[in-house]
Chain A
């Protein structure tokens, strides 16, 4: 029971990261801020979860990282979606929509 919950949350984090990078490359802090902004503060991603997820997704080939300079000239590692990452975003979005729809239907069903 609890393991499914974790999976769901992990999946959620992956999807949020993929989505945040859909519009272009971002560094770690940028991703964190974008998610905060996209979810209007519902999800606050802490570095303890963010960085392991980023490294894992990079190793899975969904993300590509390069070193560059940030807005205020700090050296930072920027992540961008690879082709596989984009495909993954589509797949996970569809999955999520299916789940969300199913959940909504289930919860709206007349009792």
Chain B
């Protein structure tokens, strides 16, 4: 009954508000009149009676408010009222509102974009069944040299893992993913290929939609040729042929039987179009560490058991590593979750970016706090008036919090939009397959993060005005109508110093990365990259395991391309500069290290290769058509090879290896990625041996074309229209079923080699720029506000004879002081924090004076402008008019 009554009242209060209010007004008025009547009857003069009654009442508005607060549904009603009032307040200060929303949106956006990548890389489960049971094997070497990370394994290790580690089901894949040529429906196409061991899909928990996984027979060396294809390829190339299973398709120039078709949408770490058995062995590919391993923990087993079994199985291997490579060190193998294994190299980068995004957020918080403090100062009058009219401090605070939360919601929503756009932009910057995930979604976790960030930010910057309200002294404000702003000014100066300091750190980090990138981009390439077009094709074809066929292709295709009008020279090489080259171990047969095993790059090239790339010959000769399989085997080495293995002495004429291969020339070094990842700079010099394509070992040819696609290099005198088409036609004249897989300029290869650095620079520059902008806005707002607040004082000073310059200096002083303090703090922070960047810097030290000077200069100029522009208003100020207005 009572509840029903209250609900009815609540509805009436909400919807017939005006009537209820009018009645309350009438009731109170009649009370006052009657109470005054009583006093008049007692002999008090009419006017005095009314005054006394009102005094006894203690304020009509306060009583009304007390009644309103008691009414049913009052909290809902006041909340709604506060929200509308807050909304109007925000609309009335469009400058402030826009500044807050833009600041929030940018900082929340940056954080959302970066977090969605962190989420995709580290938090989101892998798209496989029971992903927590998936893992890979890391190697930890401690001692003279330390290493901790993923290591490819060789054929022996694989066999031991497969047979002697019962806790795990394992699979290996080829570490280098490549492409192959597929003939379907009469035309040849280039498709992405993955080479996998038999149980690969069982480890991932994927069952073919049709057919089956590979059998162990198919995964044996020289086993039957089988292939599993992706759903997309099945639909596009085979028109969803229901009877494809069991049929032979033409792949790599050989018949392969289709044994399985993957389900639609099935993802693998390779995401290839076709999968063929890797057929692991201890010879050839398996003779070196060329297999990547993934494992699934079997039911009932634990990771600890698995680790123990692996270390037992690979004990010989560990001993060999210790003995041959790292004397005195201990070697330990251990399993890590697959996600961690796949993202090991990206993790620190993503976390660094998250840190930078966090710094942006802090700067934004400081700015927003500064802005709201100004706003509070301006609103002191309004708040004092409301308090005088009966609002309690709690009501005022609630009002301010509601305005803050309104801003948080709007800023957060816009921020999510900004984050979405920023993420799209960021992903378009990344090279294909850079991230080991299929997509970077804006999922519920990212949205929750964005909302949490914006609310948290708002709580931080909303706290200041809330504290400020409790400090408002009604009487002193009403009597003096001035604001004691000293303390707040100090707070704002402190905030700005903090912003400037953090901005300096971000700018300095960016400066160092930019210097690294410039260093990498301006390394002398060692050849002439201009006017060169390259094209790749997969020679992982049955017919090109025949050296005669291979020689014919090299000779005729280069001759055909040379006939294209405008082409100056043509060459083919297993790899080109800026590309990773094949790494080979040889026993050297001359020089100081004679008899020792050496590691160098090795690639076959046709005679035109050096000419097409314009790699200078230092001494001796390069190759020509008279270097054939039946003549003396020759080799050309580069300068680094000469310095490393011959102490810089001219090696021409010396035998490189026991089989009689003779060094006939030395060429200039070219810039290329290091042989071993994450050890050296992303671009540098490596010792390289060039062999003529006509003398490449037949066994070598059949193995390397599985990993590498050679490049046809064409140098032209000027731009040629439709060059790729003409190159393709020239190739088709020699082999109509050999497609080029892609055409690349040398700039492309260079950009690929330093993609990580480019992405880092792009991202960090954007963030540092944002930080700089936010800091500038913060300083600008501070000074503009001081100018506005002290207009009267400045007017008096100018009227009393102060010059504009003196006044400007006194106003600017606070901004300059806080920026200078910020710079100093920032420099100190840099000294501490930048050391962490050492591993990502190339060709530049951590304490790099030029970049530091540049950064300080940029920051000084920007802050000086931010201080100067608002003070310029003073020059246009007319003291007389100002004083009259105030």
Contact = CB atoms under 8 A, between A and B. Distances in A.
Given A72-B37, A76-B34, A61 B1 contact: yes
A47 interface: yes
A43 B2 CA distance: 28
Given A51-B27, A55-B71, A46 B66 contact: no
Contacts of B434: none
Nearest to A88: B2
A77 B2 contact: no
A84 interface: yes
B63 A51 contact: yes
Nearest to A57: B70
B34 A29 contact: yes
A111 B63 CA distance: 46
A70 interface: yes
A48 B70 CA distance: 11
B30 A74 contact: yes
B33 interface: yes
Interface residues of A, number: 24
B62 A27 contact: no
A59 B72 contact: yes
Interface in B28-52: 28, 30-31, 33-35, 37-38
Nearest to A69: B30
B62 A84 contact: no
Given A47-B63, A84-B1, A28 B27 contact: yes
A84 B1 CA distance: 9
Contacts of A48: 57-58, 62-63, 66
Interface in B696-749: none
B271 interface: no
Contact of B57 (A47, A55, A70, A84): A47
A52 interface: yes
Contacts of A61: 1-2, 5
B549 interface: no
Best-surrounded residue of A46, A48, A53 (most CB of chain B within 10 A): A48
Given A46-B58, A60-B5, A76-B30, A29 B67 contact: no
B30 A60 contact: no
Given A51-B63, A55-B71, A27 B34 contact: yes
Interface in A5-58: 27-29, 46-49, 51-53, 55-56, 58
B9 interface: yes
B23 A59 contact: no
B445 interface: no
Contact of B34 (A55, A56, A67, A70): A70
Contacts of B27: 28, 51, 76-77
A44 to B, nearest CB: 10
B26 interface: yes
A49 B69 CA distance: 12
B6 interface: yes
Main secondary structure of the interface of B (DSSP, over half): helix
Contacts, number: 77
Best-surrounded residue of A47, A56, A58 (most CB of chain B within 10 A): A47
A64 B56 CA distance: 27
B50 to A, nearest CB: 14
Nearest to A49: B66
A59 to B, nearest CB: 4
Contacts of A76: 27, 30-31, 34
B1 A75 contact: no
B37 A75 contact: no
Contacts of B1: 61, 84
Interface in B156-198: none
B824 to A, nearest CB: 52
Contacts of B28: 47, 51
B34 A74 contact: yes
A107 to B, nearest CB: 34
Contact of B70 (A28, A29, A56, A72): A56
Contacts of B71: 55-56, 59
A60 B69 contact: no
B65 to A, nearest CB: 9
Contacts of B62: 48
A75 B25 CA distance: 12
Contacts of B69: 52
A51 B63 CA distance: 7
Contacts of B5: 59-61
A59 B14 CA distance: 13
B703 to A, nearest CB: 85
A52 B63 CA distance: 8
B30 to A, nearest CB: 4
Interface in A66-91: 67, 70, 72, 74-77, 84
B33 A74 contact: yes
Contacts of B38: 29
A72 B23 CA distance: 20
Contacts of A49: 66
Contacts of B72: 59
A55 B28 CA distance: 12
Nearest to A77: B27
Contacts of A55: 24, 67, 70-71
B197 to A, nearest CB: 73
Contacts of B31: 27-29, 47, 51, 76
Given A52-B69, A70-B30, A59 B58 contact: no
B23 A77 contact: yes
Nearest to B60: A47
A27 to B, nearest CB: 7
A74 B28 CA distance: 12
A42 B38 CA distance: 20
CB-based closest 10 A-B pairs: A61-B5, A59-B9, A52-B70, A76-B30, A77-B27, A52-B66, A29-B34, A56-B70, A52-B67, A51-B67
Given A29-B35, A75-B30, 5 more contacts: A47-B31, A48-B66, A52-B67, A55-B67, A59-B6
5 contacts: A28-B30, A55-B67, A60-B2, A76-B34, A77-B30
Interface of A: 27-29, 46-49, 51-53, 55-56, 58-61, 67, 70, 72, 74-77, 84
